[in-house]
Amino acid sequence: MTERSRFAVLGVTGGIAAYKAAELCSLMVKAGFDVHVIMTENALRFVGELTFRTLSRNPVTVSLWDQPDWRPEHVALADRAGLFVVAPATADILAKMACGIADDALSTFAATYAGPTVVAPAMNPAMWSHPACRKNVAELSARGVIFAGPVCGPVACGADGTGRMMAPAEIMKFLPLN
Ligand X SMILES: Cc1cc2nc3c(=O)[nH]c(=O)nc-3n(C[C@H](O)[C@H](O)[C@H](O)COP(=O)(O)O)c2cc1C
**Catalytic sites, residue numbers:** 157
Nearer to ligand X, 56 or 90 (CB): 90
What dihedral angle (degrees, nearest 10) is formed by the CA atoms of 120, 49, 97, 72? Answer: -140
- 127 lines the binding site for ligand X (CB under 6 A): yes
d(CA 150, CA 124): 10
Terminus-to-terminus CA distance in the chain, angstroms? 5
**How crowded is residue 136: how many other Cβ atoms within 10 Å of its Cβ?**
21
- 92 lines the binding site for ligand X (CB under 6 A): yes
Q: How far is CA 115 from the centre of its chain?
A: 14
- 87 lines the binding site for ligand X (CB under 6 A): no
The pattern of x and - marking residues 38 through 77 that bind ligand X according to CB under 6 A reads: --x-xx----------------------------------
- 95 lines the binding site for ligand X (CB under 6 A): no
Contact residues for ligand X, defined by CB under 6 A: 13-17, 40, 42-43, 90-93, 122-123, 127
